[in-house]
Amino acid sequence: MLYEAYVDLLYAYASRYTKDKEVILDCIHDLFIDLHTWRRNLATEVNVRYYLLSSMRRKLLTAAKKASRTSLQGDMMQFSVDFETESVQSAIIATEQEQQLYRQLAKHLNQLPARQKEIIYLKYHCDLSYEEIAAIMQISVPTCRTLAYRAIKQMRQAMDASTATAFSIILCQVLQAL
């Protein structure tokens, strides 16, 4: 069933925007109700993961607009990812030097602007293409590529010179473990 296959992914993605569990669950349920209601009008050849993530983002934006009319929750839609080192360390523990590298990487990932964090998350955690990410974020593909490039460049520059070669390998491992 589609719901069971994607509910965890949608919940994890939505929790990057808001910590309000009720809003997240309402948006997920509304999304699947809409899918059921409009199922005859849906395209048959579509990337389901991309479609659900972009629809979820729209639902969250709509919920944020409604909430801002009734309360003072203006920053509800700021995308955030707090990259943690503990889950990564328990998954891939080797040496003290590697652990230090993971801590540095998590620190630098957390310092990225929200849009760059979202692109890195969607690209490496959700395995979406730049075209799909651009459509979800409602930006152009070149802008999406530029933001991703700047994020990786910024992290590379911030990392020590001795860790530059291990950076790419570690980055992929960390983001896949999220």
What is the spatial distance between Cα 69 and Cα 76, in angstroms, rounded to a whole number?
12
Q: What is the CATH number of domain 86-177?
A: 1.10.10.10
Sorting pLDDT into bands at 50, 70 and 90, what band is 148?
Answer: very high
**Chain segment 74-125, per-residue pLDDT in tens:** 444 566 665 555 554 454 455 666 677 777 777 888 888 989 989 988 888 8
Sorting pLDDT into bands at 50, 70 and 90, what band is 147?
Answer: very high
The whole-number average pLDDT for the span 123-150 is 92
pLDDT given at position 76: 47
How confident is the prediction for the chain on average, in pLDDT?
Answer: 79
Residue ranges per structural domain of the chain:
2-70, 86-177
Sorting pLDDT into bands at 50, 70 and 90, what band is 31?
Answer: very high
pLDDT given at position 95: 61
